[in-house]
Amino acid sequence: MPNIREIAKRAGVGIATVSRYINNTGYVSDDAKQKIQKEIDNLNYTPNALARAIFTRESKIIGLMIPNISNPFFNQITTIIEKYSEKMGYTLFLCNTEDNKEKEAKYLEVLKSYRVEGIIALRSQCREEYLNVQIPVVSFENYILPSIPIVSSDNYNGGKMAFEHLYKKGCRNILHIKGPKAFEATERRCEGFVDGAKEKDIKVDIVEFENDFHVEMLEENLSGIKNIEDYDGIFVFNDIAAAVVMKYLKERQIMIPDKIQIIGFDNSFIGELLHPSLTTIHQPIKELGILAVELLIQLINQEEVDIKEYLIETKLIQRETTKHRLTGE
């Protein structure tokens, strides 16, 4: 493997000159530049990005903690974050945390050792682990530390909207399948949903799912719900879990939406592919992803950033799992 010592020797310049040229860290004469570049081309030399990052403190890498790579919402937001980071001159280092605190903490060490310039943590399960991270961090949904800004959908209002929609569609015997306690966003959805129900004096039942990616586990949770067919409306905490609920009901010949109406949350691409297609609450995935990157780059550039929770509005997407026409509508 060619190295800068060899390039310097062949170009007839000093190693420090080659280093300045490659890292763009100081003056190099035009003549030397030409000679060095010629040898770089001749030797097909690729700079050692890690060594360079240590030297210049600019790796141009952003670490992205992803809680669940198989959930379409997270692969959509990852795609947005990747595209926008690339446009801004950064490469992503992806870490699949599986909502696991230990895995996330380990990845944090890896990201530090790779000298990433910033970290976006989606649904982080860690807190004090970030205390000695001297790298800018932006969080999506979960609170980490007072110094870390949070980007999130307005989950409370989204949950309320979900209730109001089921109510408007005539549902009065309603179940909410909520996410695990560790998902702060779905806690807010649940609060909004319950408050919406209180305003209409309706009592809703609530069951909690343990995660959002093990289909068998979700099915097991469902089989624990007694007389599910007695409900006329179900709000499921996200689209992927709603897909599992729909599969479960269909296998039991429970008609959607005639017998039970369903609403999910996310507006990820699977909603439209399901049959019947899924009514859901839209999370502005593009806006969320871009905002997270923008804030992070501002922090990296040491610009002033308001450290607060940035809430983005959600909206209802009506599809086939809730009834289209009702008398009086």
Site residues for ligand XLF per CB under 6 A:
71, 73, 123, 141, 179, 183, 185-186, 212, 237-238, 240, 265-266
Kindly list the distances between the CA atom of residue 107 and the CA atoms of 71, 94, 103, 112, 293, in Å, as whole numbers in the listed order.
20, 9, 6, 8, 19
Shortest separation between residue 51's beta carbon and ligand XLF, angstroms: 38
For ligand XLF, the closer CB: 280 or 322: 280
Secondary structure of residue 112 in the 3-state scheme: helix
Residue 252's CB is within 10 A of a number of other CB atoms, namely 10
| Sign of the C-alpha dihedral computed for residues 90, 93, 98 and 101 taken in this order | negative
* CA gap 56, 86 in Å, rounded: 20
* Both structure tokens of 144: 């980490």
Shortest separation between residue 297's beta carbon and ligand XLF, angstroms: 23
Beta carbons of 325 and 168 less than 8 angstroms apart: no
For ligand XLF, the closer CB: 193 or 237: 237
Beta carbons of 138 and 118 less than 8 angstroms apart: yes
For ligand XLF, the closer CB: 115 or 160: 160
Q: Where are the beta strands (DSSP E) in 186-232?
A: 204-208
For ligand XLF, the closer CB: 85 or 142: 142
Pairing assessment for the beta strands 91-96 and 61-66 based on DSSP bridges: parallel
| Sign of the C-alpha dihedral computed for residues 215, 275, 78 and 132 taken in this order | negative
Shortest separation between residue 273's beta carbon and ligand XLF, angstroms: 15
Residue 126's identity, in one-letter code, is C
* CA gap 93, 73 in Å, rounded: 19
* CA gap 228, 254 in Å, rounded: 9
Scan for tokens 């890292």, then name that residue: 23
For ligand XLF, the closer CB: 18 or 185: 185
* Both structure tokens of 183: 């998902």
For ligand XLF, the closer CB: 11 or 234: 234
* CA gap 130, 219 in Å, rounded: 35
* CA gap 77, 268 in Å, rounded: 10
For ligand XLF, the closer CB: 11 or 292: 292
For ligand XLF, the closer CB: 84 or 237: 237
For ligand XLF, the closer CB: 2 or 180: 180
Residue 329's CB is within 10 A of a number of other CB atoms, namely 9
